[in-house]
Amino acid sequence: MPGLTGYIVRRLLLVPVVLFVVSVVVFALGRLTPGDYVEIQAGSRARPETIERIKEERGLNDPVYEQYARYMGDFLTGDLGKSVIYRGADVQEVIFPRLWITLQYNAVVLLLTFAIGIPVGTWAALKRGTWLDPLAIGTFLVFASVPVLVTVPLLQWLFAVKFGLLPSGGWEAHNYLGVKLGIFSRQIILPVIVLTLPGVAGIARYMRAQVLDVLDQDYVRTARAKGLKEFVVVNRHIVRNALLPIATIMGFELSGLIAGSIFLETLLGIPGIGLYTFEAIGSRDYDSIMAIVLVGTAAFLLANLLVDIAYGFIDPRIRLSGGPA
Amino acid sequence: MNYADAAQPLASEARRSFGLRAFRRLLRRPLAVIAVVIIVFVYATGLLAPAVAPYGFNEAEFGHGFAAPNVDHPLGTDRLGRDLLSRAMWSAQTTVIVSVAVVGTGGLLIGLSLGMLAGYAGGRTDNLVMRAGEILSSVPTILLVIIIRATLQDRWTDLFHNIEDLTHFPGLVSSGAPSIVLIFGALSIFSWFGMARLVRSQVLALRESAYILAARASGASVWRILFGHLLPNLTNLVIVVVTLSLGSAALAEIGLTFLGIGVQPPHPSFGTMIFEGSGLSNIRNHPQLMLVPAVVVGLLLLSFNLLGDALTDILSPRRR
């Protein structure tokens, strides 16, 4: 498949381009911060000479492109700057443990979204024409329409306060074979419910449309005519063929998860990267904000790239080289 | 020319009856009708807030904080003794203003015109617009809005302080307008691509259709083709996209305000209300603080989605 490798190379090349553009924008914006954050950090009683000395030390008097090169050089070698919120800590010491927490529950959410969305969508398509189809799709559409900002306090009120069933927030991690995992604690239930339900609608609708497409195909009719059991027809002939394009919708789900995590973690007090973002905005921790934006964007791009590549491998029919824009 | 003019009333007649038919079909869907009612209600309340809100958004009655719903305050009061019902009405005003402004500039002005331009001009223009849009959309919007706001806010406010000094127009900064403008400016920059992409693909399809070729052959100018011939055929698409993006723009306003980087207090927003009402002790002791904004926001966004869905079904030719 020469087209496929060409496509992957093209996508791979796009990633650094986008990252470069974003990093330039982020850096330029960071340097536009008012009144020199050195002055803010040094305090109002600092003498002008002190401020000048700090600026000289940090190279803030150099030309901007040199500063940019230095910043990116440090960034790529793993030095993301100093955190203001966690005094003295380097940003990279704060950001990666938190990213790990966010990734854990998001992975669970993603798996569950597909695990629920695919059967629901298939089932709705098979029940086309009955009231069950719009009911199933409609129910999940309702969940999809109500934002995390609304569902979290509502569910906290219902489950944690009224019925006392679930912990009201926080994060609890235990060691499993030397890895700190929080996905087996009760704290994870609420966030997973809140993030999974909205995602299901997207997958289910997409799956439903795919199944409806496949349903009329000749090979499905043939399979039925052969006298195969309905279960086999659905699983082997319908679902498997309908599944092919579903990877495309992953990227969409991912961008929803990034935004959702910020609100979710802030409301529930989960010490992931979303809460970190919130704290960094509140205390104007510019090094942290810049690192979060860059790392977040890179993670997002990579995830999308993986999805694209996976899609290319799953479905050889896709025109990868010189496809429509 | 005469021929085209003669055809004009006929075309508009057909369009009107199509619109009427679409409207009738909309009325036959109970969910869509309920959605329209809720949206109209929230928008009307927001626009009429100065007239219908019983109290000002910042009118505090000290010593009457956390009041339960009563005759004076139908929904109770918040920590500072401000009437929750009035706060919700004023918040609706903020939501209406911001979301209409974002969709009007980002979606309609930029998105529609760039989409039409890219689709009709094709070639290098098309490439430029689409690549720029792809780069913008491959970055998570919320992160970029956060950094723009975090870094530019103070400079931006300073600018408006200077304008205030120069023009002797006081109250510009304290009106909260600068921070609102900055946020929807940023949101508009990132929100045009969705509209542009859809419009472009529609224009690409229409560009080769017989009636556009006829218009071109009869010597119609580019502007006439774009606005007289293409635009009317994009109306359906634009209505659907605008409905859906009004919802997401409202959510963006509320979410960013919740994070503390949207509309600044004392200006009311559902984002602030949810932020103030959430937190475990409030949820436990005064759930109405959170319930009021949460229910309104939930219903409003649900309505936009339901209406958008119904409109897609009714208006898009592919599904008919």
pLDDT given at position A34: 53
- Residue B239 is classified by DSSP as H
pLDDT band at B14 (very low <50, low <70, confident <90, very high): low
What pLDDT is stored for residue A313 in this prediction? 67
Contact B305 A144 (CB under 8 A): yes
Minimum mean pLDDT among A45-54, A199-208, B98-107: which range? A45-54
In a domain, A319, yes or no: no
- If one counts the domains in chain B, the total is 1
> Where are the alpha helices (H) located in chain A, listed in sequence order?
2-31, 37-42, 48-58, 64-76, 91-126, 132-145, 148-155, 189-215, 218-225, 230-232, 240-243, 248-268, 273-282, 286-314
| Within-domain flag for A32 | no
- Is the pLDDT reported for residue B29 higher than 80? yes
C-beta of residue A319 within 8 angstroms of C-beta of residue A3: yes
Q: What CA–CA distance (Å, rounded) separates A82 from A287? A: 6
Instruction: Measure in Å the smallest separation between the Cα of B17 and chain A Cα atoms.
Output: 29
Read off the pLDDT of each residue in B163-177 and give the average, rounded to a whole number.
73
B209 contacts: CB under 8 Å, gap ≥ 6: none
d(C-alpha A168, C-alpha A147), whole Å:
18
Tell me the angle at which helices A286-314 and A2-31 cross, rounded to the nearest 10 degrees.
170
Of A89-93, A172-176, A256-260, A265-269, give the range with the top mean pLDDT: A265-269
The reply to whether residue A263 touches residue B297, judged by beta carbons under 8 angstroms, is no
Q: In DSSP terms, which residues pair with A174 in a beta bridge?
A: A181
pLDDT category of residue A4 using cuts at 50, 70 and 90: low
What tokens appear for B206 in the block? 């229409």
Instruction: Respond yes or no on whether ipTM tops 0.85.
Output: no
Residues 4-33 of A with CB under 8 A from B: 14, 17-18, 21-22, 25-26, 29-30, 32-33
Domain of A262, CATH number, reads 1.10.3720.10
Most confident of A102-111, A251-260, B54-63: A102-111
CB-CB: which of A150, A160, A255 is closest to B297? Answer: A150
Residue B186: its H or E element: helix B177-207
Domain presence at residue A117: yes
The pLDDT of residue A324: 42
Question: Could you give the count of Cα atoms lying within 13 Å of A106 in the half-sphere of its Cβ?
Answer: 26
Question: Which pLDDT score, from 0 to 100, does residue B16 have?
Answer: 60
Is the pLDDT confidence value at B299 over 90? Answer: yes
- Mean pLDDT within A184-197: 86
Q: Which residue of A has its CA nearest to B131?
A: A325
Is residue A128 a part of any domain in this protein? Answer: yes
A110: in domain: yes
Is the Cβ pair B291, A157 closer than 8 Å? yes
Contact A286 B287 (CB under 8 A): no
Contacts of B314 (CB under 8 A, 6+ apart): B22, B25, B26
pTM, to two decimals: 0.82
CATH number of the domain at B40, please. Answer: 1.10.3720.10
What one-character-per-residue DSSP string does B106-154 give?
Answer: IIIIIIIHHHHHHHHH-HHHHHHHHHHHHHHHTS-HHHHHHHHHHHHHH
Per the structure, the complete domain to which residue A136 belongs is given by 91-282
Average pLDDT, chain A: 79
The predicted model gives A91-111 an average pLDDT of 87
- Quick one: average pLDDT of B155-183? 76
For A295, nearest residue in chain B (alpha carbons): B143
Could you tell me which of A279, A108, A93, A110 has the C-alpha nearest to residue A182?
A108
Q: Chain B neighbours among A 138-177 (CB < 8 Å)?
A: 141-142, 144-147, 149-154, 156-157, 160-161, 168-169
The residue behind tokens 């430029």 is B128
**pLDDT tens digits for A195-231?**
898 888 888 888 888 888 888 888 888 888 888 888 8
Domain residues for the domain of B125 are 3-319
User: Considering only CB atoms, which chain B residues are within 8 Å of A300?
Assistant: 138-140
Q: What is the pLDDT of residue B304?
A: 92
Taking CB atoms and an 8 Å cut-off, how many pairs form between chains A and B?
Answer: 139
- Check whether B279 has a pLDDT greater than 50: yes
B306 touches B32 (CB < 8 A): yes
Listing DSSP states for B22-64 in one string gives HHHHHHT-HHHHHHHHHHHHHHHHHHTHHHH-SS-TT-B-TT-
Which of A142, A154, A289 lies closest to B150 in CB terms? A289
* A209, two tokens: 């449309």
pLDDT top residue among B172 and B263: B263
Q: B43-78 burial by CB neighbour count: b if 16+ within 10 A, else e?
A: bebbeebeeebebbbeebeeebeebeeeeebebbbb
CA–CA distance, A83 with B147 (Å, rounded to integer): 16
B139 and A267 within 8 Å at the Cβ level: the answer is no
- How many domains does chain A contain in total? 1
Residues written for chain B: 320
Is A67 part of any domain?
no
Q: In the 8-state DSSP scheme, what is residue A131?
A: T
Average of per-residue pLDDT across B220-229: 88
pLDDT in tens, A258-269: 778 888 998 888
Are A135 and A128 contacting, i.e. CB atoms less than 8 angstroms apart?
no
pLDDT above 50: residue B83: yes
Select, from the ranges A285-289, B16-20, B272-276, the one with the highest average predicted confidence (pLDDT): B272-276
In the block, which residue shows the tokens 């556009």?
B212
> How would residue A325 be classed by pLDDT, with cut points 50, 70 and 90?
very low
Of B35 and A283, the structure prediction assigns the larger pLDDT to: B35
From the list A242, A173, A240, the residue with the least C-alpha distance to A207 is: A242
- Across the interface, whether the CB atoms of B138 and A18 are under 8 A apart is answered yes
Tokens of B207: 């560009």
Q: Cβ distance B90 to B49 under 8 Å?
A: yes
Give the contacts of B281 (CB within 8 A, at least 6 positions apart): none
Residues 213-272 of A with CB under 8 A from B: 255, 258-259, 262-263, 266-267
Element (H, E) at B149: helix B141-167
Summary mean pLDDT of chain B: 82
